[in-house]
Structure 1
């Protein structure tokens, strides 16, 4: 089964965004704004990037390797939603200082954890292709 083109594009876009947001938070005008904001703005931005990039890779792997299977589709959805809520809320909190977004971040973390649990549960049901006799 070939990968879903929309999920493939979204996964690639999430990887691109992780790199570009990470670079903009480390250099240039965004970095200066975060530094000027003081407090934990740079730390929040760094945490957002730290979780964003590996989960973008996870989305890509799920898209390329197990596209179309229902349990893995739910894993992809949960991880994608988790990235939006977790990293997205931290990026926005760091850049705008809107403190109420801190309440959204744990929901994103729960979605990320749910995505990994979905992978574990889906893998449990998948038959092993190689057996040692």
Structure 2
């Protein structure tokens, strides 16, 4: 639980820092398309930082729920792969980096599915 709270908090902090960096420092350096790519990375990082905090809170109530832990790891690794590849693509312009972005997206989908399965089990 503590680990996901820590990872979510750090990821949230970094998403705000990256968002400010993109809005100010990169505004004059990147074209509109690349700034959009960078912003997409920030948006998904912020969303999944909050998802990590949610997982941490849920693990407080359901400490033995392995599906929740797997969801947290999917959100964490998904953020690194998805947002990280978009940041690298936007900053470098190397298009092949965009090819790994969907792997992070699939991890996000798995994480949300695991969260939904946990919710279904708890409500049923």
Task: Give the TM-score normalised by structure 2.
Answer: 0.89
Q: Which has the larger radius of gyration?
A: 1
Q: Give how far 1:32 is off.
A: 2.4
Q: Distance in 2 between matches of 1:92 and 1:51?
A: 15
Q: Does structure 1 residue 10 correspond to structure 2 residue 7? A: yes
Q: Give how far 1:77 is off.
A: 0.7
Task: Identify the structure with the greater helix proportion.
Answer: 2
C-alpha RMSD over aligned residues: 1.5
Q: Distance in 1 between matches of 2:93 and 2:123?
A: 48
Partners of 1:33 and 1:95 within 8 A in 2: no
Matching residue of 2:120: 124
Q: Distance in 2 between matches of 1:65 and 1:124?
A: 14
Deviation above 4 Å: which 4+ runs of structure 1? none
Superposition map of 1:91-130 within 5 A: 91-127=87-123
What is the CA deviation profile of residues 5-52 of structure 1, one whole-angstrom value per residue up to 9, with x for unaligned ones? x32221110000110001100012x33222xxx362111001111111
Q: Give how far 1:121 is off.
A: 0.9
For structure 1, the 5+ residue unaligned runs are: 129-133
Q: Distance in 2 between matches of 1:12 and 1:39?
A: 29
For structure 2, the 5+ residue unaligned runs are: none
SS class of match (2:90): helix
